[in-house]
Structure 1
Amino acid sequence: MTERRVARDYERAAQMLGLKVRAAREARGLSQDELASRTGISRNQVQNIEHSRNNARDATTGRPGPGNARLDTIFILAEVLGVEVAYLVDPSRPVTPPGT
């Protein structure tokens, strides 16, 4: 697998994670602030995950880097959102949260 393909696959997985966190959060009627409060994750981090970005800037473009949620953060989000970790991290699974 080439480095470029790995980067594309990673960016796709990060995008899908963000879409799924947002979909599950909205399906449970939670605001970003409420999710942040229940998880102990900052609202800014919730926003970054949902928008697949991080606070690091690309040296060439100046744009935020792709999302890079830590594994423990993903487990906490899954527990609070009532979804399986696999739903959040498997980019081949549909965005619609299970059970909705």
Structure 2
Amino acid sequence: IVNVSSGTTFADVPGTGGYVASKIALERLSAIARAELEGTGVVVSTLIPFATETEFLASIRAGRAEAEAMTAGAAFDTPETVAEAVLALIASGEARMDLVPAAYGGSR
């Protein structure tokens, strides 16, 4: 099982409170499910992508100026890059992978 969180969990972007809270809850749920399912053959992992070029990203209005200022100069991932990361995460069996640049608190 791969649950997809969001790089917005690394920042305080106005207008994203509900979204970020749900993604942080998903990260914790994934960690707990992984522990509960250990030894059953079911592996639960979490992928945390950065900004991804999608229609959702283009539709954000609230907090957009702040978000753009925070990500100025950052390269956004394509959906294909995120899909490749999902496959890599499955192959590795790791609990968590983030695609967030180090400049924003991530491991990339």
Q: TM-score, normalized by length of structure 1?
A: 0.32
Higher-helix-fraction structure: 1
Q: TM-score, normalized by length of structure 2?
A: 0.30
Please say which structure displays the higher CA radius of gyration.
2
